[in-house]
Amino acid sequence: MKLNLTSDELQLRKPILTAHGEIKKREILVVTATQDNVSGSGEIAPLPGFGLESLKDASESLHTWIEDGPFPSSTGAAGAASCALTQLKAALKGVSLDIFLSSRVLSNRDLSVQSLIGAESISDVENMAQVAIANGHKAIKLKVGALSETSDIARITAARNTIPDHIHLRLDVNQGWNFSSAQRVLKAISHLNIDYVEEPTNNLSDYKQLRSVSGIKLAADEHLSEINTAHDVIRSGLVQVAVIKPTVLGGPQAAYDLSQNAQDLNVRCVVSSFIDGPVGLRAARDLALAIAPDETHGVGTGALFSDPIPSDVLPNHGFLRSGN
């Protein structure tokens, strides 16, 4: 087996403001494993504040592995390496990653994807929501938690008033609220038909009481940043939705196994990208097809880049259309 490491940089059309800071570009590492003239690839694109190692540390770890060193131990590098090996196993069997994971052949591999709106002004939120609706998206995720409570409530309300009731509105706080703020905001928006709220605070023990305040479903994302503790979070009964990112969970196989545990416990699974490049988006797309093909997932972020992106990872009328 031959291993190779390449790098790339992709610019966003517009910076995305989150509770962890502003995202302007994505620096990407891609590791490729080749055997018998077929290959599989995995990607890491660390984001400051989101729990992964630095790009430099990931690069060093992957270079060491490629040069006959130990398998990467850091989270992101291990996820990328595992993804490359799993993709290679699928390719050697002549099947796509979703079939390899689930042993299920889908008659329709079109995947519904949400639209992402950052911490924008109210007018921008309204305009971007209208564009998302026109583009056929069935769900919109709004970033909150980076500005004031008043601003968050106003922006959430503006988004909900712009979006028809049949379009899901999801909120991603990125742990940007404290417990008191979360209580106030969730109570204020309890009537707005919110699909779910990701990571309202950084303390999982808050979630039972926060759920009771509003009745809104709560989702784990950053709390699922380590595969060793992710299963405990799922079993805790404190979250109703698991936002699954294969990059931080040790690759697609480990992420798929976690999803099966979650679904057995009636925890809804939504696969999300790390605002990945094409390799990461394809892996996340196929993982989503394996886990919940009828769900609307967070893997349509290829539309956020100003650099050219392959068409199979660009949303087309609200779907990724990868062929059948």
Per-residue pLDDT of the chain (324 residues; tens, 9 = 90+): 999 999 999 999 988 878 777 889 999 999 999 999 999 999 999 876 666 789 999 999 999 999 999 999 888 999 999 999 999 999 999 999 999 999 999 999 999 999 999 867 899 999 999 999 999 999 999 999 988 999 999 999 999 999 999 999 999 999 999 999 999 999 999 999 999 999 999 999 999 999 999 999 999 999 998 888 999 999 999 999 999 999 889 999 999 999 999 999 999 999 999 899 999 999 999 999 999 999 999 999 999 999 999 999 999 999 998 765
3-state SS string for 35-98: ECCEEEEEEECCCCCCCCCCHHHHHHHHHHHHCCCCCCCCHHHHHHHHHHHHHHHHHHHCCCHH
The CATH number for 63's domain is 3.30.390.10
Kindly state whether residue 265 falls inside one of the protein's structural domains.
yes
- Distance between CA atoms of residues 197 and 200, nearest Å: 7
Domain co-membership, 86 together with 175 = no
Query: ∠ CA(68), CA(2), CA(88), 5° rounding?
Result: 115
Domain co-membership, 84 together with 118 = no
Q: Give yes or no for a contact between 111 and 316, defined as CB atoms under 8 angstroms apart.
A: no
Kindly state whether residue 218 falls inside one of the protein's structural domains.
yes
Domain co-membership, 171 together with 83 = no
Kindly state whether residue 102 falls inside one of the protein's structural domains.
no
Parent domain of 60: 2-94
Kindly state whether residue 84 falls inside one of the protein's structural domains.
yes
Domain co-membership, 168 together with 315 = yes
- Distance between CA atoms of residues 32 and 1, nearest Å: 10
pLDDT at res. 86: 98
The CATH number for 192's domain is 3.20.20.120
- How long, in residues, is the chain? 324
* Number of domain units in the chain: 2
Domain co-membership, 78 together with 131 = no
Helix axes 252-264, 227-235, angle to 10 degrees: 10
Q: Which residues contact 93 (CB under 8 A, 6 or more apart)?
A: 100
Please choose, from the candidates 179, 176, 229, 226, the residue with its C-alpha nearest in 3D space to the C-alpha of residue 199: 176
In angstroms, the Cα distances linking 79 to 62, 75, 165, 303 are: 11, 6, 37, 24
Which among 45, 64, 94 is the end of a domain? 94
pLDDT at res. 18: 81
Question: Phi-psi region for residue 199, left (φ > 0), alpha (ψ -120 to 50) or beta?
Answer: left
DSSP-derived 3-state class of residue 299 = coil
Q: Do strands 110-112 and 319-321 pair parallel, antiparallel, or not at all (unpaired)?
A: antiparallel
Kindly state whether residue 159 falls inside one of the protein's structural domains.
yes
Domain co-membership, 90 together with 115 = no
Domain co-membership, 210 together with 171 = yes
Kindly state whether residue 259 falls inside one of the protein's structural domains.
yes
Domain co-membership, 31 together with 155 = no
Kindly state whether residue 196 falls inside one of the protein's structural domains.
yes
Domain co-membership, 18 together with 156 = no
pLDDT at res. 119: 67
pLDDT at res. 49: 66
Domain co-membership, 119 together with 48 = no
Beta-carbon neighbour count of residue 22 at 10 Å? 13
Beta-carbon neighbour count of residue 190 at 10 Å? 13
- Distance between CA atoms of residues 291 and 300, nearest Å: 16
Name the pTM for this structure.
Answer: 0.95
Domain co-membership, 116 together with 67 = no
Tokens 């290679």 belong to which residue?
88
Kindly state whether residue 231 falls inside one of the protein's structural domains.
yes
Q: Which residues contact 268 (CB under 8 A, 6 or more apart)?
A: 217, 240, 241, 242, 262, 292, 295
Domain co-membership, 267 together with 227 = yes
Which among 69, 94, 119 is the end of a domain? 94
Which among 34, 67, 94 is the end of a domain? 94
Please choose, from the candidates 282, 323, 287, the residue with its C-alpha nearest in 3D space to the C-alpha of residue 301: 282
